[in-house]
Each structure stands twice: as structure tokens, then as C-alpha cells.
Amino acid sequence: MPCVSFELRERDLLARIGRLRTKGGTIETPLLLPVINPAVQPVSPRSMKEEFGCGAVITNAYIVRRQFGDRAVQEGIHRLLGFQGPVMTDSGAYQILRYGDVDITPEEAVRYQEEIGTDIATILDVPTGWGAPEKRARYTVEETLRRARGLFEVKTREDIAWVGPVQGGPHLELVAQSAREMAKLPFQVHALGSPTQVMEQYLFHVLADMILTAKRNLPPDRPLHLFGAGHPLTFSLAVALGCDLFDSAAYAIYARQGRYMTEHGTLRLSELQYFPCPCPVCAANEPREVAAMPEAERAGLLARHNLHACLSETRRIKQAIAEGRLWEHLEARAHGHPSLLRALKGLERHRDYLEELSPVTKGSGLFFFGSLGLVRPEVVRHGKRLLERFTPPVGARVLLLLPQVERKPFHRSREHRRALDHLRKRLGDGLRMVHVCTYAAPFGVVPVELDEVYPLSQHEVATPIDEETRGYVAEQVGRYVGAMDYEAVVLLHDAEHWQGGLVESCRMACEGKGVPLLVVSERSPWSGEALSRLSAALHVALKREKGS
């Protein structure tokens, strides 16, 4: 076994539950690493492990070197911090971002991290930051790459996992270039740099684009760390897009500022009348009591709560991955903050990529709440496969489109059975030439042959169906008609629930194919009268195609 390895256990969307083996121990991802400042510790590293169950911590090797120098070399980083478990070190990039430069060379940063025996080490990269002009951003990418290549000339130990940071900031073409070049080097872990300012300004849609650009260009079998992503509000988005490791200094910084983290956002202690959290701090105290405490004590309690909030959100996300319900979790979080919702809407641009990389089968059914869910891999996948792989049964000449009903699979519903019984009586053998499909949200066209296949009958849809979703279904129906070679199309239009573009989309597709469309539009599509009109329409359609 190599000293460092990463093994995947479960997947959902681009998220994975994995096991990262390091010389200091094995950790399960996704994992939040609290940032330890050796000088200021509102929560001691020992209690992080024993009380909070933190699998690993991160500290800044640059600060450790300045404050402890050789002592850290003699004791080793684990003893110095008092943490028995994997320790990751960053190496001063944050200081470069803040102060412009640091008094350490890239080679010294490598050597020092080897000497203190860190488990996951980071080269001294040059962060791009937010708002850097393109020329400066390009420099940070190239200089970070130069230092990354230099690592392999300098390093002497084989048992440390080295992190290859991807830079470029919001310049996506530079992020792509940076990731492509980093991928060629034998790093065990990658990291995406400079998202802190993007997150502080709630530019989550930019963050999503940065993460996905990096992911597309990095080897999927290496874990990806998101630097400085310390707020539980953003964890689900970052994990869903494939980030495995995070670090949080925010739990302590926010605490000093009297800010209380929740998975939905940040609250001020002064605004709180009740603590909406079951952690030991919140269970044992009232907000006004905490507000009245001396500053250090108050900050200590808030830091503990903030850490609980971060860790419990991480556990919820992992449980959602295990259940195959990460999308539902993500959608629930997105409704907690408009900027997160915007980021989720922006995933529309990446729907094909998300579909390609998401696992195919999952155990659980889907909850479809509205048009946001149209990005889901299951929905995208059905649309693609229907057009690429499905062939209507031999002898099916007329396409019959029935409206969806609540009961699934559709063909076993009372409504569909009744309709087909009726048609069988009226059309007799003619029904064999009719291909029965359902138009249904969110998937589009569901042929009767597929309607028991996952997830076509393993989902719940919130009704009434929103306009955007109806538009998507209409578009999918049009595409399907356009791609297949029916000789006529008969649409049973549920006029009450399917206003909007459905009829128009069918009409345009039929015109494009030069085939007739017969529409039976009814507010009660399953009534005897509606079914009589439907059988009459099918009769006409079958006759027509016989005559042609």
C-alpha cells in the first residue's frame, strides 16, 4: 500500500464519500478541517478531536515557523498542537494575499513542512485573489506552477501528501489552464485557491463556475480541497460539485465578531432571542446570557457553537450522499439564501457535465419541487437517452400522448387503464399500431415500455406544475416527435393542468415532420366524452396512415 491513497465509497452528483489515507491516519471525506492558530485557540485541538470528533485539523506552517521555529521541528507538529490525527498545513498563501509577500522561499516552505512532519502539505502558492486583472492572475498561475514543479526537485520524504493548488480566481480560462498543468504533476491532493473573497461577497455562482472548471481539468481520483470555504451555508454546494476537503477559520473569526453561524446563513448574537440549535452550548445557554459574558468567554462559546454548526452540516451532507438525496438537500439549502439559489440556477450551464459524472442508479426516489430540479442528472439523462437509445416498438405508427396522473407507474393507474380499455373496445386490433406514451413532469415523454424503469415511477412531483417545467416538458415532447418517425400524433391535452406551449410544441414538431397532429383538448381528459373524442381521433389517424 502506498503511504497516501484515496478510495471512493459512495457517490451522489459529483459528491463522494471517500477515505483518504495519510501517514497520520485515515480520514473520511467530505471533511471539514478547523483552522488552528497555535497562538489563539478558542477551542483546543485536543477537544476538537475528543469532544467534536474532528478527523483532522489544518494550521499555517508559515505562522508556526515564525512563532515556534525549531521547537516545532523538534516536537513535531502533532505534539506541538496536541492533536493526534492527520494535520494539514497551508504555507503562507493567505499572508501573501493580505500583505503582498512573505519572508520565506518556496524551497524553505517545503523543507519546513517536511521537518515538522505534517501529513498533508501545501506548496507556497501565489493566490490570485479577487479582482486581480488578467495579467496579474496569469502571473499567479504561472508562478504557482513553477513552484509546483520545483517541489519535486526539493522534497525528500515520500510519506507526505502534497497539495497542488489551482489558481486563476474568477478567470475561468486560467483556472482551466492551471488545473490542466497541475494534473500532470504527481500531487496526491489538489486545492482550489482564492475563493474566500468570492464567498465573502456571496458570489456563489462564480464559486460554482470556478469549482466545476477546476474539476473538469483535474484527475477525478485525487481529492479536492476548497481553501477558505468555512461557512456551512456553502458546504452542500461545494460538496455536490466535487469538493472533498474544506478548512474553516471562520468559526473562530465570526465568533470574535459576535456572529452565529447556521446552515442557512449568519445571525448576530445581538439579534437572537432564541438559539435555534441543539448543540451543548445552545442547549445550556440563553442568547442574552452569552451576550452579557466577558468577551473571551463569549467568543469561546460562539466558536464552539459555530464549529458544531459546521460539523453537523457536514454530517447531514454525508447522510444525504449515502441516501442519494443530496440534490434535495442542496435545493433546501438554496432556498435559505438568494445567492445560493442563483448559483443553483446557474448550474443549468453545466447540466450535461453534471449528468456525465453523476452515478446512474440510486436507491431512493426523487422529490421534484419545481423547475430548479430540471438540472438534475436523472432528468437530463432521461432526455438524452430517450432520443439516443430508445426505439418505438415495431409496428407503432401513431403516437398517442396521454397526460400524467398521480399514480405511478402510469400504465397501471385507473385513468390510463380506463382509457386503454375504452380504446381497445373502439379500435380493436387497430390499437396495436398505437404507441402509448405519457407526457409528464419533469421527464418529458415516458413511453409505456419504460414507465417502471428508475426513476420514472420512483419520484414525487409537487403540483400544480410550474410554468418553466411545463415549458421544458413541452420542449421535450417536441424533440421526441421530431426525432421519431410516427405517421401521426394524437395528443390528449389536459387543458386544465397543461396550459402553455405543449400543443404548440407538438404542432411545430409535426409540421417539421410533415405528419398530422390531432388534439383532443379537455378540462376533464378522463371523462367518457373525452375518451370518445380520443378514440374518434385515433380512428382518423389510423385511417389516414393506412391510406398514405
Interface residues toward Zn ion, by CB under 5 A: 277, 279, 281-282, 305
Least separation in angstroms between CB 298 and Zn ion: 14
Q: Which one is catalytic: 12, 90, 119, 247?
A: 90
The enclosing H or E element of 280 equals helix 280-284
Distance between CA atoms of 258 and 315, rounded to whole angstroms?
25
**DSSP state for residue 174 in the 8-state scheme:** H
Rank residues 247 and 313 by Cβ distance to Zn ion and give the closer one.
313
Complete DSSP assignment for 31-70? EEEEEEBTTB-SS-HHHHHHTT--S-EEEEHHHHHHHHTH
- Assign residue 82 a region: left if phi > 0, alpha if psi is -120 to 50, beta otherwise? left
Pairing mode of beta strands 25-29, 15-22: antiparallel
Q: Which three cell numbers mark 511?
A: 409540421
Residue whose grid cell is 436507491: 363
Distance between CA atoms of 229 and 44, rounded to whole angstroms?
21
Residue 228's closest CA among 119, 102, 351, 125?
125
Residue 416's closest CA among 539, 526, 304?
526
Distance between CA atoms of 117 and 160, rounded to whole angstroms?
8
Rank residues 197 and 312 by Cβ distance to Zn ion and give the closer one.
312
Rank residues 245 and 282 by Cβ distance to Zn ion and give the closer one.
282
Distances (CA, A) of 152 to 104, 146, 208: 18, 11, 31
Least separation in angstroms between CB 248 and Zn ion: 15
70 is catalytic: no
Q: Which three cell numbers mark 452?
A: 417502471
Whether the CB-CB separation of 455 and 366 falls below 8 Å is answered with yes
Rank residues 127 and 232 by Cβ distance to Zn ion and give the closer one.
232
Rank residues 227 and 260 by Cβ distance to Zn ion and give the closer one.
260
Q: Which three cell numbers mark 439?
A: 407526457
Q: Which three cell numbers mark 136?
A: 496579474
Distances (CA, A) of 45 to 39, 137, 226, 230, 499: 12, 36, 21, 17, 60
Least separation in angstroms between CB 308 and Zn ion: 5
Least separation in angstroms between CB 249 and Zn ion: 19
Neighbours of 158 (CB within 10 A): 9
If you compute the radius of gyration of the chain from its CA atoms, what whole number of angstroms results? Answer: 29
Rank residues 270 and 499 by Cβ distance to Zn ion and give the closer one.
270
SS3 414: helix
Distance between CA atoms of 521 and 534, rounded to whole angstroms?
9
Least separation in angstroms between CB 47 and Zn ion: 15
Least separation in angstroms between CB 204 and Zn ion: 24
* Main-chain dihedrals φ then ψ at residue 529, nearest 5 degrees: -65, -45
Rank residues 181 and 263 by Cβ distance to Zn ion and give the closer one.
263
Least separation in angstroms between CB 161 and Zn ion: 33
Least separation in angstroms between CB 335 and Zn ion: 22
Rank residues 34 and 223 by Cβ distance to Zn ion and give the closer one.
34
The amino acid occupying position 373 is G
Catalytic residues: 90
